[in-house]
Amino acid sequence: MNKEQMLKNLEVPKHPIDVVLDTDAYNEIDDQFAIAYLVSSQEKLNVKAFYAAPFHNQKSSGPKDGMEKSYQEILKILNFMQKDFPVFKGSCRYLPDETTFVDSSAARDLVNRAKNYSPENPLYVVAIGAITNIASALLIDPDIAENIVVVWLGGHSLHYHDTKEFNMWQDVAAARVVMQSNAPFVQLPCMGVVSGFTISEPELRQWLCGKNDLADYLAQNTIDEVKKYCNNKIWTRVIWDVTAVAWLLNDDERFMSSRIIKTQLPTYEGIYSCKPMEKLMRYVYYIDRDSLMRDLIDKITSV
């Protein structure tokens, strides 16, 4: 891909596009919002498939269990919305190194699906978890890189003190594979950027509760999760993953601001490399919280 086409593919698409979403949907409460937002944005985003991503924390016994639970959570949200899309199980473990893929139905589907696209008409891959499935697809067939655009919620901002963000730190090898590939790459950093996209209990109760079954589930799921560790205290909760979907809808920078930079790879020491690559990427540095929140709430309550 030449530089002109790369820069074009790093712009917000101006027309309807095909999208797949790679998500660790059971990990937190925000993936569910992102799935609902994507499916509710069919005026521009043509959903082709969902991929379940691995994760490991207190909500799973390991990456495979996290992936399996995420697969079921994707189906749950689609059932709330009465929608039927292909859903594929992803990796059962993280990459062992930067040259060895982890085979899965999700990785194979992306490889096969991407072959039907081109640099001029790419498939948009939104990733909101550990990026293992995407990296594996690129290792299986590096040629698909030019046929896709990867939009990833991962890592922290460049001015933050480390890169030990959950999605990135789970599989640093996968992040490095994707960022070094020929695929156009858009990064939405967590702390210092997307961390400003928060919602509170009063807002959830005012805007979502009682509107429909999906809205009730999203609101109560968030409230219940936060109250496990923050009961009777003032709180807001970041719903990070919505922003990755929103970048595709960011016409005229109505939801966020970004710029083109040279790619800075995460290291295995938990910081960004001090020597940028020559490869260009798009870096989101500001989220207009209220503008995006209005669009999100309007779409969820209209389901």
Confidence band of 227 (pLDDT split at 50, 70, 90): confident
Share of the chain above pLDDT 90, in %: 97
Tell me the β-bridge partners of 135: none
Whole-angstrom distance, CA of residue 256 vs CA of residue 263: 20
3-197+240-287, CATH topology level: Inosine-uridine Nucleoside N-ribohydrolase; Chain A (3.90.245)
- CB-CB contact of 193 with 155 (8 Å): no
| Tens-digit pLDDT profile for residues 25-37 | 999 999 999 999 9
Whole-angstrom distance, CA of residue 149 vs CA of residue 182: 10
Q: Which residues of 71-85 are buried (b: 16+ CB within 10 A; e: fewer)?
A: bebbbebbebbeeeb
Please report the pLDDT score of residue 38 as a whole number.
98
Q: Does the pLDDT value for residue 181 go beyond 80?
A: yes
pTM for this structure?
Answer: 0.98
**Domain extents in the chain:** 3-197+240-287
How far is CA 152 from its chain centroid?
A: 5
* Continuous H helices in the chain: 3-9, 30-39, 63-80, 105-114, 132-140, 166-170, 172-180, 201-207, 213-230, 242-247, 289-300
The backbone torsions φ and ψ at residue 142, rounded to the nearest 5 degrees and listed phi first, read: -60, -20
Whole-angstrom distance, CA of residue 291 vs CA of residue 294: 5
Confidence band of 9 (pLDDT split at 50, 70, 90): very high
The set of residues, in sequence order, having a beta carbon less than 8 Å from that of 1 and lying 6+ positions away, is 9, 119, 146, 182, 184
Helix, strand, or coil (residue 199): strand
Question: In what helix (H) or strand (E) does residue 256 lie, and over which residues does it extend?
Answer: strand 256-262
Average predicted confidence (pLDDT) for the chain? 97
Please report the pLDDT score of residue 126 as a whole number.
98
